Amino acid sequence: MNRWMSLDVGSKTIGVAITDPLKITVRPLTTLARATIGVDAQTICRLMEEQQADKLVVGMPKHLDGSRSDTLQFIEPLVEHLETVSEVPIEWAEERLSTKRAEELMAEAGLSLAERRKKRNEYSAAVILQWYLEESR
């Protein structure tokens, strides 16, 4: 059985989360520092292979009114490149308020402010993936 992986892509970092093989639970995996689209895609492909991911879920940033966020300018070129270098299917997922929920989860877990800043994107990726799992059930 394979896992699903999710990305919370920003201009400076990419948060990564992963499911368990049965796709029941989700956990934050890592936060990557952005480099170039090619390097970012190569790193993500390597992680997908290492984690045996057979689906990639990418957070689609929208404003609360449903309109597209300017952040997509950092995300769409990466996703387009990933589609050319990987055979793993890529799906977009709702990500509105995922950072807020991630902050709540990290506070509940007792993470310090410094740790929360460092892990914000990977926890957001985990929230996005959890919501995606719940929607697909």
pTM confidence score: 0.91
93-122 tens-digit pLDDT: 988 778 888 988 889 899 899 999 899 999
Residue 97 is predicted with a pLDDT of 79
Would the pLDDT of 1 be above 70?
Answer: no
Would the pLDDT of 137 be above 80?
Answer: no
Residue 80 is predicted with a pLDDT of 96
- Give me the residue label for tokens 């460092």: 118
Whole-angstrom CA distances from 94 to 109, 120, 131 are: 24, 17, 8
Three-state SS at 127 = helix
Adjacency order of strands within the sheet including 53-60: 26-33, 13-19, 3-9, 53-60, 90-94
30-70 tens-digit pLDDT: 999 999 999 999 999 999 999 999 999 999 888 778 788 88
Strand partners, 55: 4
Residue 36 is predicted with a pLDDT of 95
Would the pLDDT of 25 be above 80?
Answer: yes
* Residues 15/28, Cβ–Cβ less than 8 Å: yes
Residue 74 is predicted with a pLDDT of 84
How many distinct structural domains can be found in the chain?
1
Domain with 66 in it: what CATH number?
3.30.420.140
Three-state SS at 91 = strand
The residue segments making up the domain with residue 94 are 3-136
pLDDT band (50, 70, 90) for residue 123: very high
Would the pLDDT of 78 be above 70?
Answer: yes
Average pLDDT estimate for 65-76: 84
Strand partners, 91: 57
